[in-house]
A and B are shown apart, each in its own frame.
Chain A
Amino acid sequence: MAGSGSTEAVQSTALEYAPYILLLPMLAFPVILLLGKLFNGNKMWKDGLKEGGLIALPVMGASLLISLWLITDFVGGNGHGDTTGWTWFTSGLWISGQTTVTEISLGFGIYVDHVTVMLLFVASFLCLLINTFAIGYMNTDPINDNRNHRFYAEFVLFCSGMLGMVLADSFLWLFIFWELMGLCSYLLIGFYYERPSAAYAAKKAFLTTRVGDVFLMVGLAMLWTLFHPYAGAGQGALDYSVVFYEGNIEKVAASSAGTLGWALGLMFIGAVGKSAQFPLHVWLPDAMEGPTPVSALIHAATMVNAGLYLVARMFPFFGAEALHGELADLAFIIAAVGGTTAVMAAAIAFVQHDLKKVLAYSTMSQLAYIFTGLGAALYLANTLHWHEYLADGTKNPDYYVNHGIVVVAFGAALFHLFNHAMAKGMLFMASGAVIHEVHHAHHHLHPHDDHHDEDPEELLVLANYLADTGQSVFGFFNSIDLDQSGDVDTYEFQKALKEADIADLPPWEMQRLMAALDMDGNGRIDVPELELTLGRIHLASLADDDDHHDHHDEFDAQSMENMGGLASKMPLTATAMLVGSLSIMGFPLIGGFWSKEGIIANTWRVALDDPRFFYPAMCVLLGAAMTGFYMSRMWLKTFAGSPKTDVAAHVHPTNTWIKTPLFILTFMSLGAIVLASMGFTHWAPDEYYKPFFDGKKSLFEGFVYEMDHAFANPDLFFFVLTYLAILLGAIVGPGLALSLYGGKLDEGEETMPWFGPVIALNQMVKGRYHWDNTSFAQSGFATALENRLYIDHYYDMAMLKIVAAFSFKAAVADSKVIDGTVKTIERTSQQLSTKVRSLTTGSARDYILMAALGTLVLFGLIWGVVA
């Protein structure tokens, strides 16, 4: 939707070029796809251009440069603004009962404020680094050969979606780009679509986020209805310039504050889906099926931040004086959802063995922290009088105190978003490096395993079952071919397996069996296919029984059970992982510490005011300890101790494309204190971040201020709270992990000096306090955690019971009622068509006759009017 429509709002040239930030990657999408199609397999394309990777890289670089330009302008104080890029067309809308015709224009504009700038940097910076990483990761794996162009094309489209969402000047465009990202995440998670698990994960991610999106759409529709009467000419009702305009908020608040609360609440559900929060979190761990750069991009750095961005965007509603206190409940819901997810995800992360899954749950948990922080900040903004003037126009006596509180609370949440994105992007890439190298080492040691073509076990059971019961394959086939169509589809086969008591498989597992049987790939099985495959399997099983072939498990390059002691093999990666983990844990002075403390402190500040908030407040405190545990566990299991398999002992350092982003991000995480000193903890909608950029406050002063507030808070309550959080997050949690996992490296393994203290501490703690956790590991709770608290299970059951039943009914209604109607219309039209065309006889005489008839009718009609 168009912005204010005025060009006066453009105050800097950077703003005029801002559309290119998203247009460049968007245009690169067809280019890479087309070139990839044309030159697939070409040597120049493969080595020279890395199958499109080196087209995407400069594009993302240019996007970053323009972003940086825009950001510099913004902090310089003149890039604040809103512009209309172009307008497609203007259309009228008739509103019944009114005499005015409202003009609606459709166009795109750029909106820049502090939230935009923060997210813009995160997105464009990480997209570039992940692109670099991907060149080292994707192009060195033969499994991706000749299809990397698809990856890079979808990658740049994804990036343009994220950048567009951040830059858009209206909720409508935000939604459009939001959906674009949804599509791209579907494509990228399902990049290895030939694997049923990847295809399933892609579907799951798409559908789960879709649930949230439906609510978001309804919320936006409500918002549109609320604000539509107040949109000026050439403005869309969802433009930020309309919905954030205080005068409009006042008008809406006066008439329908409750409805506005509902609209925002529904939009929040959309954010819950996108950011994988309870109860719509189930897609994120499965989404690790995508290649690792995708995990880093979507599930750490950008897409999951979209939900946070949406909630942060709602700040002007919560902060409006007109809505004072109206939205406190919603703020509590946001914080509570965050708190719940933080603890739940951390608990599940305890028992994960898959390196990337630990990170996935960690992402969920950390995003939940940010939601809690945002919830607290929004609560504060909504319940405190923090504007300079009160609603009645008098000067606010508490302005300075309250304003500072709101700004710090909001700033902490945003800053944690930043820190988390940097650290998690790095962690994912580092984990990718580990997996990549473990996989290579495995390939090197066991080159044949990949060609081990396993037949599904169920088919073996079926073959044996037929042999045992003496049924012929043909007889069996006829008995299961329920509709006697001559071939068997998935449903019939599933039913047959269930009735023969062989297996009761969900549909996605059936895909695997069908794929093994279906030779011509038509999705159905006929008699020869079944006979041939079962025969072969039966014979093979007879042969196998003789030589007691020991069953070689598929090697899992992502399992931490196969790693250990990698600190000496991949020192840079281990360092990056260590810094990232410490940042996520909130280890004092590193990365996330500066923001996490702020979130905990502010949640407790709210809890002192509103007892409901004790729940999220306790959750984040508990979560801090849990984070300390699972992050340490992950690092220790991967990098400390001795190698657990022969594969792990033969891992080599990784290539430069992969190392470079790790190296840069390590410093980003370590350097968070510099950013904090620059005022990033006060990154809020006004001048609070300004002093440093205006030169009014030096970097050192900022540093002293941050240190003072973090470690020597004058308020006794917060002083104790800080040290409690540090104790839990940096000592108790890691301490437990140190006592359980890791150990010293093998003899003779040299590594970087800074790992010395960590390994030594690990060795000491493990030696002194050996803690037996087998009783916990075998408890029902641990099993429940391993099964993700059965949430997926119940969802699946609900789907089968309710949705499947409903869709069956819907299918009937569809074919009978809807299709029936359409078919009837179609048939009638076709019959009419035949009639009409039969008038075209082909004889010129008839044509002239018809024309004469027409002439007479025409005369009649004209005559009728006149007479």
Chain B
Amino acid sequence: MERIEPFSEGFVLALAPEFVLIVGLFTLMIVPNMGDAKFRLPLTQVRIPWLLGGKRRNLDSDPRLPGLLATVFFTISFGLAAASFVSGMTRTQIVTPSGTIMLQIDEFSRMFELIFFGALALASAASVNRLPATARSDRSLNGLYNNRRQVDFYILLITTGLGMAVVALAQDLFMLFIGLELASFSTYVLVSFMKESKAGTEAGMKYFIVGSVASGVGLYGLSLLYLWSGSLQFTDLSAAFAENGMEPLPLIALGMLLVGFGFKVSAAPFHFAAPDAYAGAIAPVAGVLATASKAMGVLGLLRILLTIASPEATDGSAVWLVGLGVLSAITMTWGNLAALGSTNPKRMLAYSSVAHAGYMLAAITAIGALNWEEGHIDMSNDAALVVVTALIFHLTVLVCFKLGAFLVLSLLESEKGGHTLESLGGLAKRDPFLAVAMFIFMMSLAGVPPLSGFVSKLLVIMGIVKAALLDVTVNSELVFGDIHWVWFLALLMIINSAISVFYYLRVGLVMYFHDPEEGREGSLPKGTPVRFAIIACLITTVYFGVGAGQLIALCESAANALIGAW
């Protein structure tokens, strides 16, 4: 483990992906303001080009430029984060001179950064066409406003990315909270970014209010923890929990933190604002909420439940086990039932994302059910590794197909559709590529082999079953009563998957067998960047299903980094 103090040698290099984003932030601020302004040296006629202000040039005032720039910066960050895997990861900690560990760079945090940056890169590429950018020739005030707003949007996307990166790297609850809030505040604005639409503003407002409450509760839990142990370092908290975690104070704090992160992963009953937010936001933003933002929530849960309040050395021990199990059962069932009746595809996807949150909570519950007594630790460690690997794999491939589905909807949105299922009618005839892509995304969401959605669901279910049966396999005969109850979560997950097929397939039905709505017979907008993003999603959706091996290995190394730190 390398230790680096902030701003000492190697600091920038270690955090290269994050610094690239900061550079991107400033670039985005400067570039659209560039012009041919000159600065006259006082008392002389010498004019020095100053570049800020003045008459705009065609290139840097192109309304599509910020989007492309943001995409490029996200891609570079993604590439740098990926490169750290290729060259062999050097685990690094950023430590203050007083010895507080602030950030830690390892496979786990970098893997999550890949998820965040990947999702954001795709979303920013897709938004280039989605935002009402008007041609340069449009000199009307509205047109100009719209073009200037482009920059704001991408600046917010980049701050979201930075916040998420901090959450991934944080080794201290305080750092984690800062990152979380940075990302959250950015997304609140992004949701209501289309201020002309009533739905967008309202959704953003609600999302903000409920989110603030959840954050407030979380923050309160955090302060209780500090009160209790005097430190917010993961290492300190984990040690304190192992020693006397059964005191009321940390338990109350834990519950409050669960509420805070439950909102982030949109677990029932903290999910209510999510469907509204997804439906009100433009589709790429909704996609980010459903993938990157959710991954951030899961990351926080993993940190709190597995690192801090890690299961103890008694049978089926974790204090949060029952609570989380109930939460997961309710969440997956609620999400699927609600999705069943939704006619707005974005709301449907939102509820499906609630259901997916339920699956992931079930996976975390399974880890809590493991037996950590002496003599069982090795097996339990193996099983936990399987589950966490499955979880990370699931979050990663979710970016491929869930975001992909939102991107398809974003193309429909740009012709004012995408709010009703019927606006997808006849898509197969209007744009066969989009219909095929959407169908594959739906199949993958439903978990049909050989797509990546199938592999991820299979891995999660196998992980849960393995955890549930672990105790039994140590002893002898298989007796049904001996199986740990988390096994039923796997069963419930399978039943829920069966229900979910209904609404996923309905999308295919509408696309292929219904006629287009009136006024929607023509072809769809072209949108090259968004189509490229969809193709990228499509290829990865299929590839990670057929050749899942590499990605699983990657996720396993990430899971190892988390579990090894216990």
| A850: B residues at CB distance < 8 A | 269-270, 272
Q: Given A96-B478, A829-B337, do A858 and B327 touch, yes or no (CB 8 Å)? A: yes
What sequence of 0s and 1s flags, for each residue 805-839 of chain A, a beta carbon within 8 Å of any chain B beta carbon? 00000000000000000000010011011101101
Contact A830 B322 (CB under 8 A): no
Stretch at the interface among A87-95, A302-310, A447-455: A87-95
| B549: A residues at CB distance < 8 A | 89
Q: Given A833-B337, A847-B206, A853-B269, do A842 and B276 touch, yes or no (CB 8 Å)? A: yes
| A863: B residues at CB distance < 8 A | 251
Tell me, yes or no, whether A855 is within 8 Å of chain B by CB: yes
6 examples of A-B residue contacts, CB within 8 angstroms: A99-B477, A101-B473, A829-B499, A854-B327, A855-B259, A866-B251
Within 8 A of A (CB), among B485-501: 499
Contact B213 A848 (CB under 8 A): yes
Rounded to whole Å, the gap between the CB of A103 and the closest CB of chain B is 12
Contact A837 B342 (CB under 8 A): yes
Query: Which of B206, B342, B466 has the most A CB atoms < 10 Å from its CB?
Result: B206
Contact A851 B255 (CB under 8 A): no
Within 8 A of B (CB), among A92-138: 92, 94, 96-99, 101
Q: Given A91-B462, A854-B262, do A866 and B319 touch, yes or no (CB 8 Å)? A: yes
Tell me, yes or no, whether A862 is within 8 Å of chain B by CB: yes
Contact B210 A851 (CB under 8 A): yes
| B322: A residues at CB distance < 8 A | 861-862, 864-865
Tell me, yes or no, whether B252 is within 8 Å of chain A by CB: yes
Rounded to whole Å, the gap between the CB of B379 and the closest CB of chain A is 12
Within 8 A of A (CB), among B239-260: 246, 251-252, 254-256, 258-259
A interface, CB within 8 angstroms of B? 88-89, 91-92, 94, 96-99, 101, 826, 829-830, 832-834, 836-837, 839-840, 842, 844, 846-848, 850-851, 853-855, 857-859, 861-866
Residue of B213, B254, B337, B462 near A862 (CB, 8 A) is B254
Tell me, yes or no, whether B68 is within 8 Å of chain A by CB: no
Contact A89 B334 (CB under 8 A): no
| A830: B residues at CB distance < 8 A | 340-341
What sequence of 0s and 1s flags, for each residue 67-95 of chain B, a beta carbon within 8 Å of any chain A beta carbon? 00000000000000000000000000000
Within 8 A of A (CB), among B315-346: 319-323, 326-327, 334, 337-342
Closest to A851 in B: B270
What sequence of 0s and 1s flags, for each residue 39-73 of chain B, a beta carbon within 8 Å of any chain A beta carbon? 00000000000000000000000000000000000
B interface, CB within 8 angstroms of A? 205-206, 209-210, 213-214, 217, 246, 251-252, 254-256, 258-259, 262-263, 268-270, 272-273, 275-276, 319-323, 326-327, 334, 337-342, 450, 455, 458, 462, 466, 469, 473, 476-478, 499, 502, 546, 548-549
Contact A88 B269 (CB under 8 A): no
Residue of B209, B217, B341, B477 near A837 (CB, 8 A) is B341
Contact A851 B259 (CB under 8 A): yes
Rounded to whole Å, the gap between the CB of A2 and the closest CB of chain B is 14
Closest to B351 in A: A837
| B450: A residues at CB distance < 8 A | 88
15 more CB-based (< 8 A) A-B contacts, given A840-B276, A851-B259: A88-B450, A94-B469, A99-B476, A829-B340, A832-B337, A833-B339, A834-B341, A848-B210, A848-B213, A861-B322, A861-B323, A862-B319, A862-B320, A865-B319, A865-B323
Contact B338 A833 (CB under 8 A): yes
Rounded to whole Å, the gap between the CB of B341 and the closest CB of chain A is 4
Rounded to whole Å, the gap between the CB of B98 and the closest CB of chain A is 34
| A854: B residues at CB distance < 8 A | 259, 262, 268-270, 327
Rounded to whole Å, the gap between the CB of A181 and the closest CB of chain B is 21
Contact A862 B502 (CB under 8 A): no
Closest to A853 in B: B269
Residue of A89, A836, A840, A847 near B548 (CB, 8 A) is A89
Contact B462 A826 (CB under 8 A): no
| B259: A residues at CB distance < 8 A | 851, 854-855, 858
Contact B205 A844 (CB under 8 A): yes
Residue of B246, B255, B334, B342 near A858 (CB, 8 A) is B255
Rounded to whole Å, the gap between the CB of B138 and the closest CB of chain A is 36
Closest to B317 in A: A865
- Report the separation of the CA atoms of residues A545 and B530 in the bound assembly, to the nearest whole angstrom: 68
- Report the separation of the CA atoms of residues A89 and B327 in the bound assembly, to the nearest whole angstrom: 31
| A94: B residues at CB distance < 8 A | 469, 478
Closest to B477 in A: A97
Contact A855 B337 (CB under 8 A): no
Query: Which of A89, A853, A863 has the most B CB atoms < 10 Å from its CB?
Result: A89
Top 5 A-B pairs, shortest CB-CB distance: A833-B341, A861-B323, A847-B272, A854-B269, A833-B340
| B276: A residues at CB distance < 8 A | 840, 842
Contact A844 B273 (CB under 8 A): yes
Rounded to whole Å, the gap between the CB of A850 and the closest CB of chain B is 4
| A846: B residues at CB distance < 8 A | 272
Rounded to whole Å, the gap between the CB of B336 and the closest CB of chain A is 9
Closest to A86 in B: B547
| B455: A residues at CB distance < 8 A | 89
| B338: A residues at CB distance < 8 A | 833, 836-837, 840
Contact A855 B217 (CB under 8 A): yes
Contact A851 B473 (CB under 8 A): no
- Report the separation of the CA atoms of residues A88 and B546 in the bound assembly, to the nearest whole angstrom: 7
- Report the separation of the CA atoms of residues A853 and B269 in the bound assembly, to the nearest whole angstrom: 8
| B327: A residues at CB distance < 8 A | 854, 858
| B342: A residues at CB distance < 8 A | 837
Residue of A88, A101, A836 near B334 (CB, 8 A) is A836
| A865: B residues at CB distance < 8 A | 319-323
- Report the separation of the CA atoms of residues A851 and B266 in the bound assembly, to the nearest whole angstrom: 11
- Report the separation of the CA atoms of residues A29 and B210 in the bound assembly, to the nearest whole angstrom: 53
- Report the separation of the CA atoms of residues A259 and B92 in the bound assembly, to the nearest whole angstrom: 63
| A97: B residues at CB distance < 8 A | 477-478
Closest to B273 in A: A847
- Report the separation of the CA atoms of residues A91 and B548 in the bound assembly, to the nearest whole angstrom: 13
| A96: B residues at CB distance < 8 A | 478
Query: Which of A99, A839, A861 has the most B CB atoms < 10 Å from its CB?
Result: A861
| A834: B residues at CB distance < 8 A | 341
- Report the separation of the CA atoms of residues A60 and B301 in the bound assembly, to the nearest whole angstrom: 56
Rounded to whole Å, the gap between the CB of B345 and the closest CB of chain A is 15
Rounded to whole Å, the gap between the CB of A28 and the closest CB of chain B is 19
- Report the separation of the CA atoms of residues A829 and B340 in the bound assembly, to the nearest whole angstrom: 8
Residue of B255, B323, B337 near A836 (CB, 8 A) is B337
Residue of B209, B254, B262, B499 near A844 (CB, 8 A) is B209
| B326: A residues at CB distance < 8 A | 857, 861
Rounded to whole Å, the gap between the CB of B131 and the closest CB of chain A is 26
| A842: B residues at CB distance < 8 A | 276
Contact A851 B272 (CB under 8 A): yes
| A853: B residues at CB distance < 8 A | 269
- Report the separation of the CA atoms of residues A853 and B319 in the bound assembly, to the nearest whole angstrom: 20
Query: Which of A97, A840, A863 has the most B CB atoms < 10 Å from its CB?
Result: A840
- Report the separation of the CA atoms of residues A101 and B326 in the bound assembly, to the nearest whole angstrom: 29
| A91: B residues at CB distance < 8 A | 458, 462
